[in-house]
Structure 1
Amino acid sequence: MKTIYLSISLLASTLLSGCNQSTSNESTQGDAGKKLVVGVSMLSMQNEFIVNVNDELAKKAEEAGVELITVDAERSALKQVEQVESFIAQQVDAIIMNPCEVEASSPAVTKALAAKIPIVNVNSETSTKPSAFVGSDDVESGRIAMKFIADKLGGKGNVVMMHGYMGQAAQIKREQGAREVLKQYPNIKLIAHQTAEWDRAKAMDLMENWIQSYGSGINAVFAHNDEMGLGAVKALTDAGLKNKVLVVSIDAIPDALQAVKKGTLDATVFQNAEQQGAKAIETAVKIAKGQPYEKETLIPFQLVTKDNVTKFIKQ
C-alpha cells in the first residue's frame, strides 16, 4: 500500500509540475507576442500628401503586426496636444506625430517624453526635440524651387510666393530656402507673399487677387505645395496668363506630376511620402523594442520637370 501511495503522490507531483511549467511558458509567449500599439496624430487628412504618408504608415504597420490608433488633428495644435495626452492615458508603446505647428505642438512632445513614451515626429518639426525625426530638409526644397525659377527667369523678374499654413515647419523652412536663393539674385523681386494655407481653392482666390493687383507684372509663382501651385495655375489659365508666368511648387503629388507632364505646371519638387511613412513606423517600433535607431532620418528632395517626370509617375 505504501508503494502504491508513493507512486500516486509522485505522479500527482509530476503532473502538477508539468501544469505549472506549461502555464509559465504560455505567459512568457503572451508577453513576447504582445502586439505593439502606436498612436498616430496627423496634421490634416484633407491634405493629399499627408494622406499619402499616413497610407504608408498603415501599410507598414500591418506588415509589422503593429496596431495603429490614427487620429486627425484637423490643423489644430491644441487638438493635437489633447490627442497625444489621450495616447499617454491609453499607455501606447510609441507615438508618431505629424506636427501642426513648430511651437504650439511642442507641448505634446514634452508630455510624451515625460511619460516615458517614445515620440517620433514625421514630415514636420517641433521646437522641442522628439525621440526621433523622420522627414526631409524643407529648406532644401525651397532652395531647389527658387533656384529653378531664378535660372528660368535669367536672374531677373518679379516673383510672388504662396505660403503654407503659417507657423508650420514646412512653411517656415521653405520660405527660408527660397529667400536664401533670392539674396543671390538682386534683380529678382519678391513683390507679394501670403498664405493660402496649403489649399487649392484658397490659392486660386489669392492668385486672382494678385492678377488684379499686378497683372502681367508677375513673372513667376513659388507655391509651398502642389495644391496651391495647381490653384495658381487654374487662376492664371483662366486669366490667359499661364504661358507668361512660371509656376513651381513642392510635393510631387499625382495631380502635380500630370500637370508637369502636360506643361501647365513648370516644375515640382518630389518629397517621398512613402519613405517618410515607412521610416517613421520602423523607427517607432525600434525605439519601443529598445533596439538601436537613427535620431534623424532625412530623405532628399528631387526636382521634377517635363524632362524627368515620367520617372515619378506611377504606372
Structure 2
Amino acid sequence: MKSTFLTVLTTVLVLTGCNQSDSTQASQGDGGKKLVVGATMLSMQNEFIVNVNDEMAKQAEDAGVELITVDAERSALKQVEQVESFIAQKVDAIIMNPCEVEASSPAVAKALAAKIPIINVNSETSTKPSAFVGSDDVESARIAMKFIADKLGGKGNIVMMHGYMGQAAQIKREQGAREILKQYPGLKLIAHQTAEWDRAKAMDLMENWIQSYGSGVNAVFAHNDEMGMGAVKALTDAGLKNKVIVVSIDAIPDALQAVQKGTLDATVFQNAEQQGSKAIEAAVKLAKGQAVEKETLIPFQLVTKDNVAQFMKKPE
C-alpha cells in the first residue's frame, strides 16, 4: 500500500501489463493499441480509497490495460482539471472517484461531450456518468445507526462525525442515520460536525465534545473508520471508551483489528476490491463500445466481534 501511495503522490502512476498474452490482446481497442484508462481519485491519503485504487491497478495489469492514476487531493477543481488533461491525452475511458456531488459534475459533462466514457467509482455526481460502481451509502448508515439504537435500547445521546461536506457519501450517510433516528424518539443527536474523513481531525473533534458533554455522550457514529479510530483514541485517552459505543464504516484493517479487540464496537464492511475491479471492468467494456449496467451496487455488511474473523485477511 505504501508503495502505491508514494508513487501516486508524484501525481502519476502508470501501470503497464508486461505480458502479451490473450488478456492483453483482449484489452486492445479496434485499432490494436493497448487501452488507456485515466483515473482521478478523491484522496490517496484515505486508506479505503487507496484500497480501491490498488484493486483497480491489479485488475488493469491483469487485463493488459494501461492505468494512469492521479490524486485529486480532495479538490473538485483539481479533479475537473485532471479530467480535462485525460481528455487532451485522448484516453479510452476515465474513472472518477468524485470529490463532490456538484463541484465534480463538470468533469462528467466534459468527458461525455468529448465522447469518452466516464465511470464514477465509490461516490456520485449530480451529472450522471456513463456508469456508476459503488454501494448505497444510505444503507451503510442505516446499518450503523440501527446497531447503535439496538445497543442503547433506543435511548441515549449520540454524536455524529461527518465526512467531507458535499461529498455523496457524507450526504447519504447523514440521510441514512437520520432515517433511523426518526424511528427512535429516545435517541438524541446532540452534536454533529465534519472531521473530513480524517483520523487526527476526528480525534481533536472528539476531545472537544468530551470537554463539552463529558460522560453525556453514549454513542458515536463516524461516517468512516478513519474518523471512528480517531474517536476511539480520544475516548480511550479520556478513560471513557468503555462507556461509549463507537461505530464507523469501511472495515479497513485497523478497524477490523479494533473490532476484534473490542475497542471499536462495530464497522460496516464496504467492498473496496469489488468496487475497484468492477470499475475497471466497466471502463474496458465501455472503451470497446460494449454495454454495461448503468449502476452496479455492492452490498454493505455489519461487522461485529461475532463475525469479524471472516473479514480479516489471512497473511499471504
Verify same fold: TM over 0.5: yes
Runs of 4 or more above 4 Å deviation: 29-32
**What is the CA-CA distance between 1:292 and the residue it aligns to?**
2.0
Q: Which residue does the alignment assign to 2:222? A: 223
Q: Does 1:252 align with 2:251?
A: yes
**Aligned: 1:188 with 2:172:** no
Shift of 1:32: 4.6
- For the residues of structure 2 that align with 1:120 and 1:292, how far apart are their CA atoms? 13
1:222-277 deviation digits (Å, cap 9, x = unpaired):
00000000000000000000000000000000000000000000000000000000
* Equivalent residue number for residue 116 of structure 1: 115
1:75-90 alignment to 2 at 5 Å?
75-90=74-89
Equivalent position amino acid for 2:78 in 1: K
Cα deviation, residue 215, structure 1: 0.5
Where 2:290 maps in the other structure, the secondary structure is coil
Alpha-carbon offset, residue 31 of structure 1: 5.2
Residues 209-288 of structure 1 aligned to structure 2 (within 5 Å): 209-288=208-287
SS state of the match for residue 165, structure 1?
coil
| Counterpart in the other structure of 1:59 | 58
Task: Output aligned runs, 1:87-102, within 5 Å.
Answer: 87-102=86-101
C-alpha distance in structure 2 between counterparts of 1:197 and 1:31, whole Å:
43
1:125-144 matches, within 5 Å, as 125-144=124-143
Deviation at 1:291, TM superposition (A): 1.4
Alpha-carbon deviations, 1:109-137, whole Å to 9, x = none? 00000000000000000000000000000
Higher helix share: 1
Amino acid at match of 2:106: P
Question: The residue matched to 1:303 in structure 2 has which SS?
Answer: strand
The alignment status of 1:205 with 2:180, answered yes or no, reads: no
* Counterparts of residues 10-21 of structure 1 (less than 5 Å): none
State the secondary structure of the residue aligned to 1:101. Answer: coil
* Count of aligned residue pairs for this structure pair: 287
With structure 1 as the length reference, what TM-score do the two structures score?
A: 0.90
Residues of 1 paired with 2:155 and 2:188: CA distance? 8
What corresponds to 2:103 in structure 1? 104
> Which residue in 1 is equivalent to 2:311?
312
SS in 1 for 2:183: coil
Whole-angstrom CA distance in 2 between matches of 1:92 and 1:158? 50
Aligned partners of 1:95 and 1:207: how far apart in 2? 38
DSSP 3-state at the match of 1:183? helix
Contact map agreement 2:158 2:221 (CA 8 A) in 1 = yes
SS of alignment partner, residue 98 of structure 2 = coil
> Cα deviation per residue 1:166-223 (whole Å; 9 max; x = unaligned)?
0000000000000000000011000000000000000000000000000010000000
- Which blocks of at least 5 consecutive residues in structure 2 are unaligned? 1-27
1:73 equivalent in alignment to 2:72: yes
- The letter for the 2-side match of 1:85 is E
Q: Aligned equivalents of 2:30 and 2:74: distance in 1?
A: 37
Bigger radius of gyration, 1 or 2? 1
| TM-aligned CA deviation for residue 300 of structure 1 | 0.1
- Counterpart in the other structure of 2:152: 153
Provide structure 1 residue ranges, at least 5 long, that are not aligned to the other structure.
Answer: 1-28
Partners in 2 of 1:275 and 1:94 — Cα distance? 19
For residues 158 and 166 of structure 1, the distance between their equivalents in structure 2, rounded to whole angstroms, comes to 23
Root-mean-square deviation (CA), in Å? 1.0
Distance in 1, Cα, partners of 2:273 & 2:29? 32
Deviation at 1:33, TM superposition (A): 2.8
Q: Which amino acid aligns with 1:104?
A: A
Q: Helix, strand or coil: the match of 1:190?
A: strand
User: What is the CA–CA distance in structure 2 between the aligned matches of 1:252 and 1:133, rounded to whole Å?
Assistant: 22
Identity, % of aligned positions:
91
Counterpart Cα distance in 2 of 1:217 and 1:236: 12
The alignment partner of 2:207 has SS state of: helix
Amino acid at match of 2:40: S
Check whether the contact 2:29–2:288 (CA below 8 A) recurs between aligned residues. Answer: no
The structural deviation recorded for 1:290 is 1.2
Distance 2:196 2:91 in 1: 32
- Corresponding residue SS for 1:102: coil
Once the 2 structures are TM-superposed, how far is the Cα of residue 30 of structure 1 from its aligned partner? 9.6
State how far apart, in whole Å, the 2-side matches of 1:238 and 1:111 are: 48
Q: Distance in 2 between matches of 1:48 and 1:256?
A: 11
Which amino acid is 1:287 matched to?
Answer: L
Query: Which one-letter code corresponds to 2:127 in the other structure?
Result: T
